[in-house]
């Protein structure tokens, strides 16, 4: 599921969360758990696919921790984070004098991962020419440093991850088909958080305890309202977004602020047919209703003054800056209308 199980779980974890936290109880995740236990002992490449923030990093670390190579290093390479001009030397290393500035010999990440696991995160971002060199590593178990004269043999378990469809990248000519077949021996699909809402309460509690301890804060309580609201939310940022939301809750201690930031209920949805489902407080509902009403008033006033914002501000008896702020905070429907209004440069 994820080192952010997301950011803390993605990069800062020395030890993995328990498998009960990682996988929860949803059918998809339990099937994934079974697949990981089966593939961990097999020395074959693994491709992990899923949306950003779903925890592909944690899955890779778990595979390593369950494999015969668990006593060896786990080396992660974030492909898009390393500039294209540097990624080759980072992966394969170089010999002294291989290029300007190469004053010594440097081992690459592949060499550092010897007798362990090499995790290539977002492999779809790897430059096309480098894909052929990676293919050689997978075929022969050896590589050559930049400027080197001989190949180096390594024993490395290669695990790759991507949030894209590599099949589509192959069709576009952006990813080598032969490399795709090499890394896709076992394909693991990590489902988005919105498809495993039953696991959200356990994840909330996990992150609550984690950050309460990290920030030395008194442990806050997760209200039934907050849990129900989180389970209804669509989580575009997946577990990473959930983690960061709980982190803010630990620091700020106000769930209403969270609901507002996450836009759990947009103002434009509070129409005459709105049915209260018990998931939001009266305070939050009132705030959204007022914002919706303000947006409608401002929209009508702008129309009446031919979209002139300065005249509209005077008519509404508010400052020009206050009007700009309220325009920025307008609901989704009104914001769309504002984007279609005539040019306002002549205010």
Average pLDDT over residues 36-49: 95
| Distance, C-alpha 50 to centroid of its chain | 10
pLDDT tens per residue across span 110-145: 999 999 999 999 999 998 889 998 999 999 999 888
Are the C-beta atoms of residues 199 and 192 closer than 8 Å to each other?
Answer: no
Average pLDDT over residues 102-111: 86
**CATH number of the domain bearing residue 232:** 1.10.8.60
Least confident of 71-75, 118-122, 221-225, 282-286: 282-286
Average pLDDT over residues 271-288: 56
Write down the pLDDT at residue 331.
Answer: 45
One domain for residues 167 and 50: yes
pLDDT tens per residue across span 329-347: 664 334 434 444 554 444 5
Query: What CA–CA distance (Å, rounded) separates 269 from 288?
Result: 10
115: closest CA among 69, 68, 67, 64?
69
Instruction: Dig out the tokens for 27 from the structure.
Output: 């059918």
In this structure, what DSSP letter does residue 83 have? -
Are the C-beta atoms of residues 7 and 62 closer than 8 Å to each other?
Answer: no
- Phi, psi angles (nearest 5°) of residue 188: -110, 125
Is the whole model's pTM more than 0.85, yes or no? no
Are the C-beta atoms of residues 257 and 289 closer than 8 Å to each other?
Answer: no
One domain for residues 123 and 239: no
One domain for residues 157 and 229: no
**CATH number of the domain bearing residue 56:** 3.40.50.300
Structural domain span for residue 202: 194-265
* C-alpha distance from residue 170 to each of 166, 179, 180, 181 (Å): 6, 10, 8, 11
In this structure, what DSSP letter does residue 94 have? B
Write down the pLDDT at residue 265.
Answer: 45
Q: How many domains does the chain have?
A: 3
Q: Is 317 left (phi over 0), alpha (psi -120 to 50) or beta?
A: left
pLDDT tens per residue across span 197-252: 999 999 999 999 999 999 998 878 898 888 988 998 899 999 999 999 999 899 88
pLDDT tens per residue across span 297-326: 888 788 888 888 888 888 888 888 888 877
One domain for residues 138 and 252: no
Average pLDDT over residues 94-101: 77
Q: What is the DSSP string of 122-157?
A: TGGGS-HHHHHHHHHHHHHSEE--BT-SS-EE--EE
First to last CA, the chain: 51
182 band by pLDDT with thresholds 50, 70 and 90:
very high
- pLDDT: is 29 or 269 the higher one? 29
One domain for residues 174 and 309: no
Of the three residues 164, 191, 218, the one that is the final residue of a domain is 191
One domain for residues 96 and 133: yes
Helical (H) or strand (E) element with 216: none
Mean pLDDT of the chain: 82
* C-alpha distance from residue 72 to each of 14, 68, 112 (Å): 14, 9, 10
For residue 267, is pLDDT > 60?
A: no
Coil, strand or helix at 19 = helix
């Amino acid at each position: 599921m994820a080192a952010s199980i997301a950011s803390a779980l993605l990069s800062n974890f020395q030890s993995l969360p328990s498998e009960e936290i990682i996988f929860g109880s949803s059918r998809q995740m339990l099937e994934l758990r079974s697949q990981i236990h089966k593939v961990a002992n097999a020395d074959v490449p693994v491709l992990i696919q899923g949306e950003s923030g779903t925890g592909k990093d944690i899955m890779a670390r778990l595979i390593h921790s369950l494999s015969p190579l668990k006593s060896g290093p786990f080396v992660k390479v974030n492909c898009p984070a390393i500039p294209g001009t540097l990624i080759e030397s980072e992966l394969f290393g170089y010999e002294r004098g291989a290029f300007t500035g190469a004053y010594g010999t440097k081992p690459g990440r592949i060499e550092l991962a010897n007798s362990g696991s090499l995790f290539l995160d977002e492999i779809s971002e790897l430059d096309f020419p480098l894909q052929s060199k990676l293919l050689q590593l997978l075929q022969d178990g050896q590589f050559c440093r930049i400027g080197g004269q001989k190949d180096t043999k390594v024993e490395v378990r290669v695990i790759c991850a991507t949030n894209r469809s590599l099949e589509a990248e192959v069709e576009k000519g952006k990813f080598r088909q032969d490399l795709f077949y090499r890394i896709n021996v076992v394909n693991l699909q990590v489902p988005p958080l919105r498809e495993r809402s039953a696991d959200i309460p356990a994840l909330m509690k996990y992150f609550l305890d984690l950050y309460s301890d990290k920030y030395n804060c008194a442990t806050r309580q997760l209200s039934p309202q907050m849990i129900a609201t989180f389970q209804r939310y669509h989580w575009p940022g997946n577990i990473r977004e959930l983690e960061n939301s709980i982190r803010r809750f630990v620091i700020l201690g106000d769930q209403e602020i969270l609901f507002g930031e996450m836009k759990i209920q947009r103002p434009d949805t509070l129409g005459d047919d709105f049915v209260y489902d018990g998931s939001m407080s009266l305070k939050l509902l009132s705030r959204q209703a007022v914002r919706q009403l303000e947006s409608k008033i401002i929209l009508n006033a702008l129309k009446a003054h031919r979209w002139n914002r300065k005249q509209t501000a005077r008519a509404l008896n508010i400052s020009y800056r206050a009007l700009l702020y309220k325009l920025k905070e307008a609901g989704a429907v009104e914001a769309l209308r504002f984007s279609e209004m005539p040019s306002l440069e002549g205010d």
